[in-house]
Amino acid sequence: MQTSATNTKPILASINSTNHSKQSSISALSTPKFNRTLLNKAITYHPPKNGCRRRLCSVTSQTSRRLSSELKELAPRSHLLANSKRVSCFHSYNRKKIGVKRFTSGFFADKSTFPLTKNLPDNTEVRELQVPHASVGHEEPHAASTTWPDGVTEKSGLSIVDTEAERIEFENFLRFEIPSHPKLHRGQLKNGLRYLILPNKVPPNRFEAHMEVHVGSIDEEDDEQGIAHMIEHVAFLGSKKREKLLGTGARSNAYTDFHHTVFHIHSPTSTQVCEAEGDLLPVVLDALNEIAFHPKFLSSRVEKERRAILSELQMMNTIEYRVDCQLLQYLHSENKLSKRFPIGLEEQIKKWDADKIRKFHERWYFPANATLYIVGDIDDIPKTVNHIEAVFGKIGMENEAPVPSTPSAFGAMASFLVPKLTGGLSGGLSQERSSVSLEQTKNLRRERHAVRPPVQHNWSIPGSYTEANPPQIFQHELLQNFSVNMFCKIPVNKVRTFGDLRNVLMKRIFLSALHFRINTRYQSSNPPFTAVELDHSDSGREGCTVTTLTVTAEPRNWQNAIKVAVQEVRRLKEFGVTNGELARYLDALLKDSEQLAAMIDNVSSVDNLDFIMESDALGHTVMDQRQGHESLVSVASTVTLEEVNSVGAEVLEFISDFGKQSAPSPAAIVACVPKKVHVDGIGETEFKIEPEEILAAIEAGLKEHIEAEPELEIPKELVSSENLQELLLQRRPSFVPLDQEKKMTKVYDQDTGIVQRCLSNGIPVNYKISKNEANCGVMRLIVGGGRAAETAEAKGAVIVGVRTLSEGGRVGNFSREQVELFCVNHLINCSLESTEEFISMEFRFTLRDNGMRAAFQLLHMVLEQSVWLEDAFDRAKQLYLSYYRSIPKSLERSTAHKLMLAMLGGDERFVEPTPNSLQHLTLEQVKNAVMRQFVSDNMEVSIVGDFTEEDIESCILEYLGTVGERRGSEGPQKYSPIIFRPYTADLQHQQVFLKDTDERACAYIAGPAPNRWGFTFEGKNLLESVINVSAFGEHLKSEDQHSKLENAVQGKLRAHPLFFAITMGLLQEIINSRLFTTVRDSLGLTYDVSFELNLFDWLKLGWYVISVTSTPEKVHKAVDACKNVLRGLHSNQIAPRELDRARRTLLMRHEAEIKSNAYWLGLMAHLQATSVPRKDISCIKELISLYEAATVEDVYIAYEQLKIDENCLFSCIGIAGSQAGEPVTASPEERELSGGLHNVIPVGRGSSTMTRPTT
């Protein structure tokens, strides 16, 4: 089974750990906010994962963005909304939005500021762009309504002109429509099916075809809750025509949310495979036709998917999901969005038969209620239209009432401008569909809703103040931190004119200032909050624009946290942004849009398509990236400080003027709080809070004295010209020979374009000039050691030290704020992280305005003049203490934590540092633990970007070459041995029970594996003996020339350092496919199962992990089934077609990512690292040929190195529920390993109390 995920990490990437140590990125810690789109996300299936989905005992980015107690860099909130929370068929749907995940600049990776210059366009000529554009009428089915209540209008912009003629000309300009995408072709068949076609060359020879059916959970009647999701499962996985695409290199997926169901296929344009030989577009369209309009509702498939969805329902039901459900229920309490979550209701899912499901399909799945999107390497538009007409043209014509063709516009600046404003400003006043009888519905079924989703909202309108509902409190034992959300809800403002675009720009400037002020000013002290964020974003799924103030804090600080947040909102509303802030953020947005325009030919098809679909849902006009930049430049010169502050103040009135008659009423105020909190010296105590106390904290913030924001001096450079010249004279940097025998100071590989250099201070450097991302560059410093180098006397020192460095954020004489703003002005995004075996620092920068030089200056200062602060150290310890205490409140984390401790004998380097370890650390210890790894010959710097050879070598010499030489006193980094625990039955098969109101279950199965280069924890070097090994079958001896050639190719693979990396990657794909087919599809024991390999580079070991979710009554059977699949590769031998499919998947992934600078950065890692001696340029040059050479026998050689017998395999089952039964008393050793975790009760393997009825 193919997956839709594209793993951006190459097979050679070493910095691929998602260990929680990754949270040590240089990033202001923020904790997740309410993620509304988690509830209206697509809910689908999870076939086998390609690549490692998650490391055992690690924190995935997807999870950490929601879990308030986890340490993780968070993308700006719009990132979460853009990517979020559709549970896609294959569990890895997350996709980027154009412009959203671009340069979120700053020294701290979660900053959403946009850096650029202060040269604003003074006399921008506004010219009419002669390109076709379309408009969306109010009857457009996917556009949210923009109708405001009678008598309510938005305030118009302030005039910035002197004469009446100029005023009229300016007003006419603002009313002028922005241009629409010149290459976007739209059409409609006679049966009402709408289609959009966009030629796009990235990736080459591939295309995306998405069928969007405009039906979702919001269209379900009271007895149909979850049926749209059920149809998605049955239709998609029941399609035989889709299955025929599996061997072609195509990947497919599907998802359901509030307002639509989408089936999508990513496919090559042509293939030579069997039945599908030739042009694949007609084949793909035929598959989509069957899936959407002609599914077979076989009872057997319905039962399979029923089991899968019930398992999925329990898997999704984490505390984060429940929090989001609560928030959404209060935010949309007046309409069906509050109670139509796509996953549905368990009791109803269990009852539906095929006939019930078929009737819902007949009501909603017809061509006039669907839109087809095709984006990709397609040049012949008329031919594509002919294919569409041939496949879909005659469907439903016998009963369809043709829908008038209404061209729709799609908004470009939606995700283009903002992390904080994902796309303009839109909303919908629409009529909520009342329940109707089946007969009435049948009569209406050929009509599309004029507005999606069809719900009515209660808007938060200025001047319409009503007594606000009291704050709602959701209290749960699994919550760790305090959080409160204040919501304001308004209609979506469609971005169609230059005036609309101008308003979006001004709001973005205003909110950027607020975000930076809060997260930077308070980071330098000990803030009362963990995170404060104000988000203003459109939601096509909900049909509205929501402004959300989210405050997260430790429970003991919640009142001060609210007070400070309200105080800062008031300060910005009352005094506005400063002239410096206006110049800074306007300049940043212009530079960012300019950068995006330069990359117009490098945007992937799926990014373009996702952007168009979201813009379509919001009713915005779609521009291409170049048009977007030109339009932004046109309005930027008209922006004034007064107007920015006026427009921005309106966004904040529901907070700053809370309680006033003139202010908009909050749509809801919701606090999510723990039931118990930890108090030092006392332990767990009950947490009490009342709605009146929350209101009192808000009122205290409203009364607090405020003063205007002072202007901050921003450094133009971190290393002055004078200091640089002095360093150059003093240290005289130069390039030295890489190899003392060949005496070559520069090694250039023509095939890859990679250059290898070494500086006189001992720092090795690799770089590659790439035009794939115009005017962009990435740089990574890798330092060997990581957490593995921690000593028994200073457990946790490296991870806490890295976090301390990031919390402080100071270098030299520059404050954290100054460093942040330096990054803002130069479009630099920097992150620092520690993994099990490395510390790495990564920079993303633009080549414009000396951006690369600025990034090198920052790296120089970090290496030379890092400042270690006591208060930053205290914050870092407190963060990890909070993180550790949150483990027992997560079923997955507590289960994985227990397994890792058992498997690695309690080795704390691979789990979270305990409170005891944190208590004994000192600032000097953590500083030494980090800095002793930063020695010259233990570092490596790699750079990829659109620079010239002269510029890159100048930066390398001037800023890296002048770093003082540091030699390690003990030679290469060393680490204490890592030992897998010997077999003991009580620790190898464990269980934990988590007290919870709802039932869930998960399990992890793990065991030893070699590392990427064939070394094992037992000290074996497997590569030395692999050439003569035959682990499977007998070779057929042949003397013909073809056989000799095949043997030579196979011999080359077995002698290559990458043998185990290649074969283990293929093995992972094969096992994942079998797990899905057997455990999920055939046995119905799980919704989500995956096999992952954790292959280290420096550490001489690895491990595999199977993770599976299930129900409490099925989880033991699921674990047994997973073990059977893992051990069954000999009895059920690997077929050549399985290997071919795995090979094709990995090569396609490589092909898709090869144009990414970040991917090349991963490929280049460790080329000159002394800690990874087997890595050389052949590992990159010969990657494709090595995959192609691999045979089934080679894969079995890798398989034999996995320790899968019962004496080597470790498992841990976690079950959450309200009744624990009588827990088995834990042994002293077990209590020690569990690190004093509370609320997690170890139980014996044979305990019958683990099976309870599902509710």
Q: Which residues carry out catalysis?
A: 232, 305
Q: Secondary structure of 16-73 in the HEC alphabet?
A: CCCEHHHHHCCCCCCCCCCCHHHCCCCECCCCCCCCCCCCCCECCHHHHCCCCCCCCC
What backbone torsions phi and psi does residue 199 show, to the nearest 5 degrees? Answer: -65, 135
CB contact at 8 A, 267 and 238: no
CB contact at 8 A, 110 and 75: yes
Q: What share of the chain is helix, strand, coil (3-state, %, to 5)?
A: 40, 15, 45
Strands 251-256 and 261-268: antiparallel
Q: State the virtual CA torsion across 656, 661, 665, 669 in degrees, nearest 10.
A: 60
Token code pair at residue 704: 């607090």
Q: Other C-beta atoms within 10 Å of 380: how many?
A: 11
Token code pair at residue 671: 């606090």
Q: Secondary structure of 226-264 in the HEC alphabet?
A: CHHHHHHHHHHHCCHHHHCCHHHCCEEEEEECCCCEEEE
- In angstroms, rounded to a whole number, what is the distance separating the alpha carbons of residues 434 and 444? 13
Q: Other C-beta atoms within 10 Å of 187: how many?
A: 17
Half-sphere exposure of 279 (CA within 13 A, CB side): 10
β-strand partners of 533: 550
Q: What angle do CA 985, 990, 992 make, to 5 degrees?
A: 160
β-strand partners of 1002: 1109, 1214
Q: How far is Cα of residue 862 from the mean position of the Cα atoms in its chain?
A: 27
- In angstroms, rounded to a whole number, what is the distance separating the alpha carbons of residues 419 and 433? 33
CB contact at 8 A, 670 and 485: yes
CB contact at 8 A, 417 and 639: no
Peptide bond into 121 cis (omega under 30): no
Q: CA distances (Å), 888 to each of 884, 1106, 1216, in order?
A: 8, 21, 11
Q: Which residues contact 619 (CB under 8 A, 6 or more apart)?
A: 136, 140, 142, 143, 144, 146, 408, 409, 411, 426, 492, 494, 496
CB contact at 8 A, 787 and 940: no
Strand stretches in 997-1124, DSSP E: 1000-1009, 1089-1095, 1102-1110
Longest CA–CA separation in the chain, Å: 93
| Three-state DSSP state, 1137 | helix
Q: CA distances (Å), 429 to each of 147, 148, 967, 1072, in order?
A: 6, 7, 67, 46
- In angstroms, rounded to a whole number, what is the distance separating the alpha carbons of residues 373 and 379? 15
Q: CA distances (Å), 869 to each of 790, 807, 808, 917, in order?
A: 21, 9, 6, 20
- In angstroms, rounded to a whole number, what is the distance separating the alpha carbons of residues 709 and 508? 18
Query: Which contiguous run of DSSP H or E holds residue 901?
Result: helix 891-903
Q: What angle do CA 342, 344, 348 make, to 5 degrees?
A: 155
Q: State the virtual CA torsion across 363, 366, 369, 371 in degrees, nearest 10.
A: 150
β-strand partners of 781: 841, 941
